Each structure stands twice: as C-alpha cells, then as structure tokens.
Structure 1
C-alpha cells in the first residue's frame, strides 16, 4: 500500500510536459522497433550479403568476404548500360508524369466545379484499385503490333523501351497527380487575383507565383514516380520485349541464376540512386508533402 502511494506520488510530481514526452516515446517504440528490425535490418543484410560469394558447383552461398561482386557491378559494361537505361527510363517517366499532371491538377484544383472535381479525383484514383498485372497486360494488348492501337491509328510502338515508358507512365501517374493537386489546392486564390490585378499575364503568374508554390508537391510526386520506375521489373518483362533494366536483371540473378550475392550487389545501385535523389529534392520541401 505504501509502495503504491509512493509510486502514485512520484507520478504526480512529474511535470506534464515530461509525462507527455514519456507517453509519446512509449507509443513510438513499437513502430521504431519494427522499422529498425524489418527495414533497416533487411538493408543491412542486403549490404553484407553483397560481399559474399557462391559455390560454383552447388550454388550455395558462401559466407566469405569478397569484393568481387561489387567490382563486377562497377566494371561490367552490361550492368553499366542497364543502369544508365534504368535511370533514363525513370527520369523520362517522371518528366512525362509531371507534364501530364500539372495541367490536370490545376484544372481539378482551380477550375473544376466541386462535383466535377470529385469525379476527376475518383477517375485519377480508380486505376490504383485495379490489379497491377491487369493494367500491365492491358497495355501489352493495346501496344501489340496487331492490337487496338494499330487498328485505330495504323501504328503501334510494339514491345520495347517506348512501350515500357508508356506503361510505367500510366501506372505511376496518379502518384504524381495527387501531390500536385494538393499543392495547387493550397495556393490561395487571392494570390492569383493579386497577380492579375498587378498586370501579370497568365504565363507570368504561373511561372513566378504558382510554380514556386507547387514545386514541393511536384518534387514529392517525383519521388514516387522515380523510385517506383527505378525498381520495377514486372512491366518491363511484360511489355519491354528484349529491353533489360536493373529490376529484371536483379530478378534473373536471384531466381534464374541463383546468385544471391550478385543480386544483392546489383540492388545497391537503385538504393544509392534513390538516396541521391532524396538528397537532391530534400531542400524543396518535398518530404513535407508526402
């Protein structure tokens, strides 16, 4: 009884701000522990396993330190070409998504009526509810040399790099539209009116007033489109034809060639690319808009 009273007394003497911080810290322990073990732990295992090797006869992983995999990844012309192609595709998809998202998001946020805005938001997000494979195979049919696009226009890009970029742009476009729409929505209409009252043209208003304000949303959307395109290996397998990107090369090394250490070493390339991209866009305020 005395001990309980002492404990109650000690709790009562805690400053409210300190008690609040302790409670918040206890709430954060489970998610932080999960992040450390499941995410950072798996990245640590990935890094370590890239310095292992495999038995040439059995294919079993040998826990012997070696830098052969990393050196091969950095010097092999095939991997270097695939890296440049993958980064180029990710940047192209990001640029196309931005070009398509900006006018659509502006119309949704500033021009459309509330009912039309709701319909457009539903239209943008509805593809996210569909299966990834269904959407990818739908584009495979559409881009086929004998498919609907060839029937309607007489031309089809077929399967290859162009088909990969088109398919990835469609798949990740909603991830660009929604942050840009939110950025446009936060731009006060009074700023646009003030710019017009001061004699600025529509183009000048967009360039000098709107563009700086929506840049964080645009950068936030680009984080999704760039990273998702960089790591994708299913779409390129379905519509890419003979196109080789890092994702399906890593998948082939892991599943077909049964070379886990080399696959881990290759996986460090997109990881480093994403970290560099994050550092590049960090100052735009993109992380606050995700």
Structure 2
C-alpha cells in the first residue's frame, strides 16, 4: 500500500531535488548565455558576492523576525485555548484559527495590500487620530519604511505574520495541552509565583511546540516569493531571486544554488528541532 506514495516521493520530490542539486554545480557562459554542464563551484562562489549575500541575510533576518513575532502572539492564544477553553469555546477557537486558511492565499495578500496602501484603512485611521506625521516619519526610516506600508519591509512583515500565524498556534496549543495541570498546581502549592511557574514548568514543557511551529513559519518565509513580490520593496528575498534568475535572467545554475541555501538551512534546523523533541508536538 505504501509502494505508490513512496515511488511518487522518490521520483517526483526527491528526484527534483537531486536534479536541482546537480544543476547548481553547473555554470552560465557569460558570452553565449548557455548553461555549461561542467561541474564547478563558481556558481556557489557567486552567492558570496555582496548583492547575493545581502539577499540571503535579508531573508534570514525576515524569517527570524516573523518567527519571534509569531511566538509572542501565538503563545498566549494557544495557552488560553489549552488551559481554559472547553466545549463550544474550544470549537470556536479551532474555527477562528483555521478559518483564514480556508480562503485563497492570493486573496489574503491582495486584501492586505489594499489595507496597507496610502488610500487604505490604516492610513485613514492614522489621519483620523492625528498621527499621520508619525506614520510619515516611520515610513521615512530606511530599513523598515517605504513610500507606503504596502511597499515597505514593515508591510511584508505584517502580511507574513498574519498568514503564517495559524501554523504557529496549532502546534503550540497541542504541546501545551500535554502539560499536566497537576504540575502547574503543584508549582503553585510549593510557593512558586506565576512567573516562576511559567519559566520553570510551562515554558520547558511547551517549548517543543514552539520549535514545531517555528519550523513552519521559518521555512515558509525562507522560500516564499509571492508576499514580498506583492507587498514589499525592491530589495529581493531568496524566493524572488530564484524567480528572477530562473525566469528573467535565465541563469538556472544560480537559481538552483539560491534554492539550495534554504534547503541546507532547514536541514540543519530540523536536525536541531528533532533533538529538542519538536516532532512530538506536531
């Protein structure tokens, strides 16, 4: 019974990755624009040029920031659902978390683009509150700003957090539900404050769920190119670089080398997550 799915996995998925890896060791002839099918490390050396290295570091920074923000937002929601929600409230929780996943990915991104645009509701709200000068000052900042929130690093960050947040909440909620209530009560009986109980009991036992959720948010951000393409600046991320090199420039080896970067990063990250027992919370 497992033969057909395993064959599909080996041929289609692993075969495609193997082909990608092989092509990353090829190079592009600068004169003819043709791929030279001779093994070389020159394409990987191009990843360490200033422009390409900036793309990699920018993507890693964005993925890390989105993961940390998702943890900060998702943890109290998941804790409330695991400890206090029951019956209809638990059903309402699952429906609220899953409902955004039922709508189209592109519809959500374009909806956020309209929300963050100069004529959008956020700009209108800032104007009504008399905070337009504050918004203009923030948008003037070089790293996080732009002409509007819809074409800024901040806009990209907000959309990513919104889209990936359910993938962080659900594993964390599953992990926190496994924390025995008796341990929390025992900690309080022994004189621990709520902060100490959280630090020494809840957080260590729920940490695998945090790591499990971060696998989704971190890896999905590394490879995504649609969100930064629609809501973002002209500064590329890895997904956009792959798209540009493969489609516009026709540099298949460099596109393949860019693709190997998140694969290697996630392989190391998954190895660490496995040692932390994160897969037990999936």
Higher helix content, 1 or 2: 1
Asked if structure 2 preserves the Cα contact closer than 8 Å seen for 1:160 and 1:243, the reply is no
| TM-score in terms of structure 2 length | 0.88
Q: CA deviation at 1:60?
A: 4.2
Q: CA deviation at 1:201?
A: 1.3
Which among 263, 267, 271 is matched to residue 259 of structure 2? 267
Q: C-alpha separation between the residues in 2 aligned to 1:124 and 1:77?
A: 40
Q: C-alpha separation between the residues in 1 aligned to 2:34 and 2:9?
A: 29
Deviations 1:245-279 (A, max 9, x none): 11101100111111111100111111111112112
Q: Which 10-residue stretch deviates more, 54-63 or 81-90?
A: 54-63
- Of structures 1 and 2, the larger Rg is shown by 1
SS in 1 for 2:235: coil
Aligned to 1:16: none
Which among 198, 222, 234 is matched to residue 226 of structure 2? 234
Aligned to 1:104: 77
How many pairs align? 263
Aligned to 1:174: 166
Q: CA deviation at 1:157?
A: 3.4
SS in 1 for 2:166: helix
Aligned to 2:89: 116
Q: Equivalences for 1:206-285 in 2 at 5 Å? A: 206-285=198-277
SS in 1 for 2:151: coil
Q: C-alpha separation between the residues in 2 aligned to 1:245 and 1:125?
A: 28
Structure 1: gaps of 5 or more residues: 1-26
Q: C-alpha separation between the residues in 2 aligned to 1:152 and 1:114?
A: 37
Q: Equivalences for 1:1-290 in 2 at 5 Å? A: 27-56=1-30, 59-74=33-48, 76-154=49-127, 155=135, 157-290=149-282
Asked if structure 1 preserves the Cα contact closer than 8 Å seen for 2:114 and 2:150, the reply is no
Q: C-alpha separation between the residues in 1 aligned to 2:150 and 2:168?
A: 26
Asked if structure 2 preserves the Cα contact closer than 8 Å seen for 1:230 and 1:270, the reply is yes
Q: CA deviation at 1:111?
A: 1.6
Asked if structure 1 preserves the Cα contact closer than 8 Å seen for 2:209 and 2:278, the reply is yes
Asked if structure 2 preserves the Cα contact closer than 8 Å seen for 1:167 and 1:235, the reply is yes
